[in-house]
Amino acid sequence: MYEVILYYKFNPIEDPETFCEEHKQFCKDLGVKGRIYINEEGINGTLGGTPEQVDKYKEHLTGIPGFDGIDFKTDTADYIPFAKLKCKTRDELVAIHNEEVDPADGGKYLEPEEWRQVMESDQDYVIIDVRNDYESKIGHFEGAITPNVENFYNFPQWLEQVEEEIGKDEKVLMYCTGGIRCEKFSVLMKEKGWHDVNQLHGGILRYAQEEGGKHYKGKCFVFDDRLVVPVNEDDMEPIARCEITGKPADTYINCANMECNKLFVCSEEGAKLMDGCCSEECRQSDYKRPFDPENAFKPFRKWYNYFDQDFKDRQLESEEG
């Protein structure tokens, strides 16, 4: 059994490049895999490894001055759901395309128990799902507003569009997978005039562990090879539908046509019918990666795992044309 952790910490890093190089080397030596992003604001990551490896990683990271007290969201898996380790610097820990947003000015934390109590109370409130539309499509809290946005950096524009629809005196509850997107979006809502802004501390993943996922429908999308994980063990019914068969489904796959690569909801039946493709056109493509019906949801890899340089050259020619 392996462990998968999701975490972040806003803490100033004077020299992100050096910090990143040293951190990457430590992770390589340790043998963990996953994705870690670092910049002047701090660190945001998700990693997988054995329990012993994960414990050593936590001990190392929290031992760095300023990085104590990290809220690690921990899950278990039968395998490490990452192909490799990626540790690099980036302009934003979470892309909202606004470097002036300071998480220190964010909303009030609601612990999982407090969140559940509010949902079960007679209070009036508005719940906002601060995730991309393909995430909320397969799972969300009861009664949540699920914005039709493809990327987190589209949320400021969405907020402008609905500003007149959500009263500034409304009690706002917001949530995301692990909490980091709420750290930023809650600041924007407060700047726009909302005063009672609350965010689920630890996100969906910690809520699932501490409150059993009560009042959550469907599953939670995760950015690793698993793609989805259960939240409410008492309510596992899919809320989405397979784009091939139309039947209830809550599993994502990437189209087997490497020129398409569309991420779409697909049942095992649908995947087998279309050889892992999203359409008949893609099914007939010369650039369809091998499909194993016995492992329909096996994660896809980069193009060079299936095709030679001709595929890449063809892609470049298409872009130039």
Q: Which are the catalytic amino acids?
A: 176
Please tell me the distance from the alpha carbon of residue 190 to that of residue 105, in angstroms, as a whole number.
8
Q: Which residues on adjacent β-strands are paired with residue 86?
A: 35
213 conformational bin, left if phi > 0, alpha if psi -120 to 50, beta if neither: left
Contacts of 279 by beta carbon, 8 Å cutoff, 6+ apart: 255, 260
Please tell me the distance from the alpha carbon of residue 211 to that of residue 232, in angstroms, as a whole number.
9
